Structure 1
């Protein structure tokens, strides 16, 4: 987990478990089937006065035209629910 230089802890206020579905998705879909494991990075930074959070992994990836990792075909609602939460908070 990294935080942009100058961004104070007090400036980072998030509803509980807001980032969790994205980190979980990176682990399950990006790293779970990668031989030798991998890395998930979470970075907090300012973006035009708002807080931007980036979740990245060095996992298997996916083909852009498929929209999801190959061989993974299931219905996930965690990120959809989180997006709706952000919309309700006026942050999306």
Structure 2
């Protein structure tokens, strides 16, 4: 499901939404016999654009969230969330936010500021 503000004009760094959707599908909804739903929301805020990928899949425990966002670990298996988090943090000073509850689903979001932080005086 999509929810996108009309007339949105946004330059998005490559490979930011795609890995989030792939993870929501692969690890969230497809890991359940009943399947599930993935929702992508892109909304304007005061000085930024909010991007969210939400699923009603299996969810994650807090320890798993810390693990997938840990940029210091030696990668074993998938690296999509970790790399996306690292690139967003390098570009905007803030990376991914993940809220999840086992058995209920996961929300992964990030914010793209209207103006790059490094351009500020």
Q: TM-score range by the shorter chain?
A: 0.7 to 0.9
Q: Which runs of 5+ in 1 are unaligned?
A: 69-73
Structure 1 moving runs of 4+ over 3 Å? none
Q: Name the structure where strand makes up a greater proportion of residues.
A: 2
Structure 1 residue 27 displacement after superposition: 0.8
Among residues 40, 43, 49, which one is paired with 1:42 in the alignment? 40
Q: Among residues 13, 29, 32, which one is paired with 1:31 in the alignment?
A: 29
Aligned to 1:53: 51
Q: CA deviation at 1:53?
A: 0.4
For 1:37 and 1:21, how far apart are their aligned partners in 2? 19
The size of the alignment, in residue pairs, is: 83
The Cα RMSD (Å) is: 2.0
Task: Return closer, same or farther for 1:91/1:9 CA change in 2, 3 Å cut-off.
Answer: farther
Aligned-residue offset at 1:37: 1.6
Aligned counterpart, 2:114: none
Residue 71 of structure 1 is matched in structure 2 by none
TM-score by length of 2: 0.58
Question: Separation in 1 of the partners of 2:82 and 2:59?
Answer: 20
Query: Structure 1 length normalisation: TM-score?
Result: 0.73
Distance 2:91 2:48 in 1: 13
Deviation sequence 1:13-56 (CA, Å, 0-9, x none): 20222111111111111012211321100000123411110100
